[in-house]
Chains A and B, each alone.
Chain A
Amino acid sequence: MIKLYFKQAWTMMKQNKLFTSIYVAGTGLSIALVMTLFIIFYVKFAPIYPEHNRNRTLVVRTTKRINKANAGNWSTNMGTSWTFTNKMLANLKHAEAVAAVIPSWGEKKQVSRIGGKETIEVPHVLVNGDFWRVFTFDFIAGHPFEAHEMEAVSPVVVISESLAQQMFANQAPLGEKLYLDGREYTICGVVKDVSNATPVTAGDIWIPITHYAQAVTENPDMGLMGTISNYLLVAEGSDKDDLRAEVLDIMNKYNQQDKEYYHEFFGQPDDYWMSTFRGGWADENFTVWSLLHEYIYILLAFLIIPALNLSGMISNRMDSRMSELGVRKAYGATNGQILSQVLWENLFLTLAGGLVGLLLSYLIVETASNWILTLFDDFNPNRNQAMEITFEMLFNPVVFGSALLFCVLLNLISALIPTTWALRRSIIQSIHTKR
């Protein structure tokens, strides 16, 4: 039966080229924008290389330091101090690892081979030893820096595959030395390249955070404020709420013992997805609804406006098919059967539009990747970066499944009401209707 419906739909597509074109264009536009939105958020939230543990990760990034005597006297920073990560978050019962990261945010450092004249500017990331446990990098050669290398402030670094290729060509880079910030570093590992679309981990060179005095030196005027972002991997057998409660308990104890200041974390530790919406600084107005409602409105607009468009067209087409429907009813077809026929026919068109839309969304994301992935960010430290879109970001079951779901949804929203209205007419009225 469905085969017959599709056959009929195909014939009607050929007969009504204008209707088909506008229908496919309208559906394609809607699906293209919905899927672009979806891909943007998929890249932000979903487990992708090298952040496959996003679903098991909690994040603490910003804090506000408030004077206990005068709440109007406060300051805020885009990170926490090394003490916070290294002492307060050390030995958490419900955390498997706590990564400390100072992302590159587009800043670059010059590196060169020892004795070589050519220097290359590369984005760098400062990380601790646990970074390699929280984030799942593919090591092509070598290994991450070990805990003892972190503590000994040993000059070792991990570099990306493309930097290794650029600096050492066909030579094995492992154990080779490079010159960075006036010092020699030994390469202890080479990892598969990371896209700038994952800005926290993206870089070409990963350096032990303890090598940078500014990052780890205590500043008594700053309290727990600093420049470090913390990524806490929930331990096997624990859940996020256990870990969250444990961290909050530590923060509360710290606030009680500090006589002069207290630190406000505004609901952190966040789930990974939620942390991507936090701006540069601690914000007391930050809630799930405050960040989601705008996207929900946009999503609804992307669905409802084209659906109304299509409904109007389907309504017109139903008018022109009234006598056909009347004849089918006269020969015993039930309203349910006719409704099912129309929905299947339209689904065929909607799927054609969906395919066009999905391809269009890939084109949009690919051609505008440098800015579209950060389109919804109010604070965009990763600006002007070339964002490589990888295969797994676009071609995966979640993206295809969502595209299909939106097609079915759009089809139902647009075809159900006009068809139901058309079927309310009696057989006589339907057969006598002439357009």
Chain B
Amino acid sequence: MFKIIFHQIWNQRRMNAWIFIELLIVSFFLWIVVDPVCVLTATMNIPSGYEIEGRYVVKLNMYEETHGKYDAEAAKNDSLKVEHYNHVARLIRDLPEVESLAIPVQLSFPGSGNWSGGQLFRDTADVAKKDFVHMQWYQFVKEGNPFATYGMRDVRTGEYLIPNEELNGIYISENLALELFGTADCVGRSIYTGQEASSSRVIAGVFQDYKHFDFTQPYPMGLYYEGEIEASPWMQWRYPFVFKLKAGVDEKTFRERFIREVAPQFNRGNIYFSDFMSFQEIIDECNELRGPNNKIRLSYILSGFAMLCIFLGMLGTFWIRSDARRQEIGVMCSMGANRHRIIKQFLMEATLLVSLAFLCSIPLLLHYAHVKGMYVAMGSGLYPILSEKYWMNNFYEHFGLVSMVTYAILLGISLLGTLIPVVRASRILPADALRDE
């Protein structure tokens, strides 16, 4: 059967040339647009290192000098501002629906607009050599439990990390521990966050890898307590409140009650309640703002276009071809071939064409992947610390997987385009077909 099919393809080489070139170009094009979809989808499915359900962020704001409600006296009273912030923290913590509270510094919560990072040294010798590991940091006010509130788990026990409230301690992610020491078993060891000896901190715990952005791979992270709430002209942007609801709380009812009854109590002096969002809403907005949603949409549109072109191309080619081969189909039927066999032969022909074109595109794709690089979902400006445990970071695994997905899509759509005219042609009666002979 293969011999016959090869003969057919060769005999109709001029007609096949057009669809072959189209398949070749589409293979290349489709691979390029499928790559970001595969990588972004896989990256978004990497465990985030925190939990989303029942987590909320509350933000306060302050009236500016030009605002009609601005209170110049209240603006001068720093202790009143701090007291009010502590009052808001107590109000939230004492709500019957709330399980735990954390007060991050500098928008230290997932998907926030702030990304703060710095250098970390193993020891003083590394400080001298400037041999550092780059990390993102989250800071928290001493009061509160960020691990239970965010759902960050101890890498050893799998339970929420328990803070020991040691001010000089630092909690680090597993990937940061591996970068620094090659092992996650490093609690009690010292590291340096700066070039001075005073910047030494003791590792107080290791938590599971953490993703600040949903669409990037986990980046090495350090988390530490900074002290207490301090008054400043920009404290409204510095200290949001994050809390976790108890299991079983109806979130819709809670949100309504929170806005209606609780939030108005946050307004005092120049401070007023400004924003209330769930982790899920923040992450969705972040994905919309920072491009991954647009990238996926664009890739879907371009893939759809390429697939539709191939569908129409195969449909047209095989429609004309099956019409032109009516006599051959008639002869095959009269010799005892059933419909199934005729359809199979045409589908095999299409499969060979697609496979051949895809194989020919592989060297071009390899060249492209080497020269241009494959898609990497990583925040811009970050140090390329990419773990080998993800297939996206391994060249051949990455290339192979994206190629397989592309080939499967291409073959599927081509066979669909072929099937329609071939089924139609195979329904012809042998007597009708042979009349053309």
Q: Are A and B part of the same complex? A: yes
Specify which of A213, A301, A315 is in contact with B18 (CB 8 Å cutoff): A315
Would B306 and A305 count as touching, CB distance under 8 A? yes
User: For residues 191 through 217 of chain A, which have their beta carbon under 8 Å from a beta carbon of chain B?
Assistant: 211-214
Closest CB pairs A-B (n = 6): A182-B68, A312-B18, A183-B68, A182-B69, A308-B22, A378-B291
* Chain A residues within 8 Å of B68, by CB: 181-184
Q: Choose the segment among A21-29, A42-50, A167-175 that binds chain B (4+ C-beta atoms closer than 8 Å).
A: A21-29
User: Contacts A309-B22, A315-B18; is A26 near B312 (CB within 8 Å)?
Assistant: yes
State whether A211 and B298 are in contact (beta carbons under 8 Å apart), knowing that A26-B312, A305-B29, A311-B18 are contacts in the complex.
no
Q: Chain B interface (Cβ within 8 Å of chain A)?
A: 14-15, 18-19, 21-22, 25-26, 29, 63-70, 285, 288-291, 294-295, 297-298, 301-302, 305-306, 308-309, 312-313, 315-317, 319-320, 324, 380
User: Can you report 8 A-B residue pairs in the complex whose CB atoms are below 8 A from each other?
Assistant: A18-B316, A301-B306, A305-B29, A308-B18, A312-B317, A375-B298, A377-B291, A378-B295
Q: CA of A381 to CA of B290 in the docked complex: distance in angstroms?
A: 8
Which chain A residues lie closer than 8 Å to B316 at the CB level? Answer: 18-19, 22, 309, 312-313
Q: Is the CB of B18 within 8 A of A380?
A: no
For A182, the closest partner residue in chain B by CB is B68
- Verify A29–B308 contact, CB threshold 8 A: yes
| Contact B64–A213 (Cβ < 8 Å) | yes
Report how far A305 CA is from B25 CA in the complex, Å: 7
One of A182, A312, A378, A384 near B67 (C-beta < 8 A): A182
Contact A380 B69 (CB under 8 A): no
- Contacts A312-B317, A379-B289: A305 and B22 contacting too (C-beta < 8 A)? yes
Q: Which residue among A26, A305, A371 has the maximum number of chain B CB atoms within 10 Å of its CB?
A: A305
Contact with B along A161-193 (1 / 0, CB 8 A): 000000000000000000001111000000000
Contact: B18 with A384, CB < 8 Å?
Answer: no
Q: How far is the CA of A298 from the CA of B315 in the complex (A)?
A: 24
Which residue in A183, A212, A309 is a CB contact (below 8 Å) of B313? A309
| A302 vs chain B, min Cβ distance (A) | 7
Residues in B neighbouring A319, C-beta threshold 8 A: 15
Q: Is the CB of A376 within 8 A of B298?
A: yes
A383 at the interface (CB under 8 A from B): yes
**Which of chain B's residues have a CB closer than 8 A to the CB of A315?**
14-15, 18
Q: Check: A389 CB closer than 8 A to any chain B CB.
A: no
Chain A contacts to B: CB under 8 angstroms: 18-19, 22, 25-26, 29, 33, 153, 181-184, 211-214, 283, 298, 301-302, 304-306, 308-309, 311-313, 315-316, 319, 371, 374-381, 383-384, 418, 435
Distance between Cα atoms of A379 and B380 in the complex (Å): 12
User: B residues within 8 A CB of A22?
Assistant: 312, 315-316, 319
Q: How long is the Cα–Cα vector from A18 to B323 in the complex, in angstroms?
A: 12
**In the complex, which residues of chain A have a beta carbon less than 8 angstroms from the beta carbon of B64?**
181, 212-214
Instruction: With both chains docked as a complex, state the minimum distance between the C-beta of B29 and any C-beta of chain A, in angstroms.
Output: 5
CB proximity of A207 to chain B, nearest CB, Å = 10
Q: Cα distance A311–B21 when bound, in Å?
A: 11
Shortest C-beta distance, A91 to chain B (Å), equals 27
Grouping DSSP codes into helix (H, G, I), strand (E, B) and loop, the B interface class, with mixed when no group exceeds half, is helix
Chain B residues within 8 Å of A383, by CB: 285, 288-289
Residues from chain A with Cβ under 8 Å of B309 in the complex = 26, 29, 305-306, 309
9 further A-B contacts with Cβ under 8 Å, apart from A29-B308, A308-B22, A313-B317, are A22-B312, A25-B312, A29-B312, A301-B302, A301-B306, A308-B21, A312-B18, A375-B301, A384-B288
- Contacting residues, chain A, for B312 (C-beta < 8 A): 22, 25-26, 29, 309
A312 contacts B305, C-beta separation under 8 Å: no
Most central of A19, A25, A214, A312 by chain B CB within 10 Å: A312
Which chain A residues lie closer than 8 Å to B301 at the CB level?
Answer: 33, 375
Task: Flag if A298 contacts B22 (CB, 8 Å).
Answer: no
- Which residues of the other chain, A, contact B70 by a CB distance below 8 angstroms? 182
- Chain A residues within an 8 Å CB radius of B66: 153, 181, 183, 211-213
Smallest CB–CB gap between A384 and chain B, Å?
Answer: 7
Q: For residue A380, which residues in chain B have a CB less than 8 angstroms away from its CB? A: 288-291, 294
Chain A residues whose C-beta falls within 8 Å of the C-beta of B320 in the assembled complex: 313, 316
Which residues of chain A are within 8 angstroms of B305 by Cβ–Cβ distance? 29, 33, 301-302, 305
What are the residues of chain B within 8 A of A184 when measuring CB–CB? Answer: 68
Smallest Cβ-Cβ distance to B113: which chain A residue: A280
Give the distance in Å from the alpha carbon of A298 to the alpha carbon of B306 in the complex: 11
B285 proximity list for chain A (CB < 8 A): 383-384
A316, B18: Cα distance in complex, Å: 10
On chain B, the residues within 8 Å of A316 by CB distance are 15, 317, 320
**Bound form: Cα–Cα A181–B29 in Å:** 52
Output the least CB separation between A120 and chain B (Å).
Answer: 17
Task: Kindly state the separation between the CA atoms of A313 and B317 in the bound complex, as whole angstroms.
Answer: 7
Closest to B315 in A: A22
Residue of A nearest to B64 (CB): A213
Q: Are B289 and A312 in contact (CB under 8 A)?
A: no
| Contact between A181 and B67, CB atoms less than 8 A apart | yes
Min CB–CB distance A13 → chain B (angstroms): 15
Residues of B contacting A304 in the complex (Cβ-Cβ under 8 angstroms): 25
* A151 CB to nearest chain B CB (Å): 15
**How far apart are A247's CB and chain B's nearest CB, in angstroms?**
26
Q: Contacts of B29 on A, CB cut-off 8 Å? A: 301, 305
The residues of B that contact A375 with a CB separation of less than 8 Å are 294, 297-298, 301
In the complex, what residues of A have CB within 8 A of residue B298's CB?
Answer: 375-376
A435 touches B324 (CB 8 A): yes
* Residue numbers in B under 8 Å from A19 (CB-CB): 316
Q: State the Cβ distance, A80 to closest chain B Cβ, in Å.
A: 19
* Other-chain residue from B67, B324, B380 in contact with A183 (beta carbon distance below 8 A): B67
CA separation between A311 and B63, bound complex, in Å? 66
Q: Closest residue to B14 on the A side, CB-wise?
A: A315
B93 CB, nearest partner CB in chain A, Å: 29
